[in-house]
Each structure stands twice: as C-alpha cells, then as structure tokens.
Amino acid sequence: MMTVKTRAQIQSHLAPRYLRPASEAMHTTEDRQTYSLKPAARWSATYTRLRDAIFAHRLAPGTKLPEDELASIYAVSRTVIRSALQALAHDRLVRLEPNRGAFVAQPSQTEAREIFEMRMLVEARAAALAAARATADDVARLRAHLDQEHEAVREGRDSDALMLSANFHVEVSKIASQSILCEIVADLVTRSSLIIALYWIRRDTICASHAHHHLVDAIARHDTDVAAELMTSHLADLLTGLDLTPRQRDEKSLTDILIQDA
C-alpha cells in the first residue's frame, strides 16, 4: 500500500536542503561525521568570511583559493581552511578540482538562464498549491520569515538577506506538501542563490521583499492564479537583475582582497 507523507514528514525530510549559517554548512549525516573531530567554530568563521567575500563580489567567479595563502591570511591551519573550503563546495560556492585546488564557482550564462527558467515553471506550480493549501499558521510563518528578511536588509547583512530570501521560496514549496516538488525547488534555489550572489547588479535583486509580501498576501487569500503569476514575474525580475557577462577579475592579490576580513 502506498504511504502518503504528512506535511511534517516532508518538512523534516527537506530541512537539510536549506541554505544555512556557517555552523550548519555541513548538511548531511556523512558530512557531520566526517567533521565530528573538528569543532564547527574552528572552520565556520573562515567559511563565513569567504562566503561573505563571494557574496560581496570581492572574490570574482573563477578566483583560485590556495589553502596555504588562505591559512596565512586568516592565521589558521590548512586543516581548518580545507574544512571551510569543503563546506563552501558543499554549498556550491566553491569548486574543488583534483590536483588543482579550490576555485570560486563560475556558473555559465546558459546554466544560469536554464535554472531560472526551470524555477519559473516549477515554483509557479508550488505557489499555486501553497495558496490552495495554506493554513493560518502557514501564513503566519511566512510573515515571520519576511520580518527576518527585513531585519537583515535594515542591518546591511546582505549575505543573510540572500539566504533568507532563498529559504522563503523553500518555505512556500513546503506548504505545497508535495515532497518531490519540494526537493526540486530546494535544489534549484540552492543553485540559483549562488548565481544571484555572483552576478547581481541591483541590490533589490537580493532583497526585493515587496515581491515576497505580495506573494504571501495572495497565498493568504488562497488566490492560486495570482500566486502563480506573482511567483513567475518575481523570478523573471530576479533574472533581469543579473549581469551574466564575463567579469574581469581583480588584479589585486588574494591577501589584498581578504586582509580586511582577517
């Protein structure tokens, strides 16, 4: 007999797919076991500094990240740097290449457009289902999430604002109560968050909370058609807020770029 998952089971299953603060960057049980002997505090600070440098465009796509140079900049061991880089790679912010080292990830223009086009198709359906099925508690959680987005924006915490904005979309898909759909959305959101972080040219690309507010209002009204339309237009607007042309890398050394974070 087919087993139907409850919403709580779906939410529990999806929790590891969120974009998380540095201390929780190791998502899977295997990852956590691998790093069980390395206290998160030792590498999470380095993870956060590198993540913020990527999100702030100080580290351009394709920039090489040598372990020894990073260890010198941050005055930590190469083991700590390696843990931080592996966490960043797990979050798709860094690419690890055998015998070559670590590089800031560099999604192609084609990949970026394909991911956002797929999000428009999938998340429009998720928004419509969420509008049809949302309870008062679901809407309250979404509004509380928006409050967190506002706070991050007001305080100038762009990295946190980006993660909260991304996780908002996962929250909407969870309300739809379809596990496969939620998994697809969570993966696409993670991949597109990197693209937004690397290529945004308008600040409202990472904090267009008004679009989220309108969407929550439509979900609260159970207006499925409007929710789907708002989600599609919101994602299309995100794509137009990106500059996907190849970017010239900063000629400054890695030390000069990151020394302010040390």
pLDDT band at residue 36 under the 50/70/90 scheme = very low
Q: Which residue has the higher pLDDT, 142 or 33?
A: 142
Q: Which of 23-32, 50-59, 201-210 has the lowest mean pLDDT?
A: 23-32
Judged against a pLDDT cut of 90, whether residue 222 lies above it is answered with yes
Q: Average pLDDT of 150-167?
A: 85
Q: How large a percentage of the chain has pLDDT more than 90?
A: 46
**How much is the pLDDT for 203?**
57
**How much is the pLDDT for 17?**
45
Q: Which residue has the higher pLDDT, 23 or 80?
A: 80
Round the average pLDDT of the chain to a whole number and report it.
Answer: 81
Q: How far is CA 215 from CA 27, 39, 173, in A?
A: 29, 40, 12
Most confident of 8-22, 59-73, 124-138: 124-138
Q: How far is CA 151 from CA 102, 188, 203, in A?
A: 33, 25, 15
pLDDT band at residue 262 under the 50/70/90 scheme = low
**Chain-centroid distance, C-alpha 186:** 9
**How much is the pLDDT for 217?**
98
**How much is the pLDDT for 253?**
82
Q: Which residue has the higher pLDDT, 259 or 101?
A: 101
Query: CA geometry: angle at 134 spanning 188 and 16, to 5°?
Result: 35
Annotated domain spans of the chain? 17-106, 108-240
State the Cα–Cα distance between residues 22 and 114, nearest whole angstrom.
28
Cα R_g (the chain), whole angstroms: 19
Taking the model in full, what pTM does it have?
0.71
Query: Of 96, 87, 55, 61, nearest to 196 (Cα)?
Result: 55
Q: Which residue has the higher pLDDT, 88 or 157?
A: 88
State the Cα–Cα distance between residues 231 and 211, nearest whole angstrom.
8
DSSP label of 16: G
Question: Are 121 and 104 in contact, with CB atoms under 8 Å apart?
Answer: no
State the Cα–Cα distance between residues 147 and 165, nearest whole angstrom.
11
State the Cα–Cα distance between residues 123 and 242, nearest whole angstrom.
19
- For 65, the 3-state DSSP assignment is coil
Q: Which residue has the higher pLDDT, 246 or 176?
A: 176
Q: pLDDT per residue over 79-109, tens digit each?
A: 999 999 999 998 888 999 999 999 999 888 8
**How much is the pLDDT for 247?**
63
Judged against a pLDDT cut of 90, whether residue 34 lies above it is answered with no
Q: Average pLDDT of 248-254?
A: 71
pLDDT band at residue 6 under the 50/70/90 scheme = low
- Please state which of the four CATH numbers 1.10.3720.10, 3.40.640.10, 1.10.10.10, 2.40.340.10 is assigned to the domain occupying 17-106: 1.10.10.10
* CATH superfamily of domain region 108-240: GntR ligand-binding domain-like (1.20.120.530)
**225-230: Cβ within 8 A, 24+ apart:** 225/128, 226/131, 227/127, 227/128, 227/130, 227/131, 228/124, 228/125, 228/127, 228/128, 228/131, 229/124, 230/127
**Chain-centroid distance, C-alpha 63:** 20
**How much is the pLDDT for 205?**
54
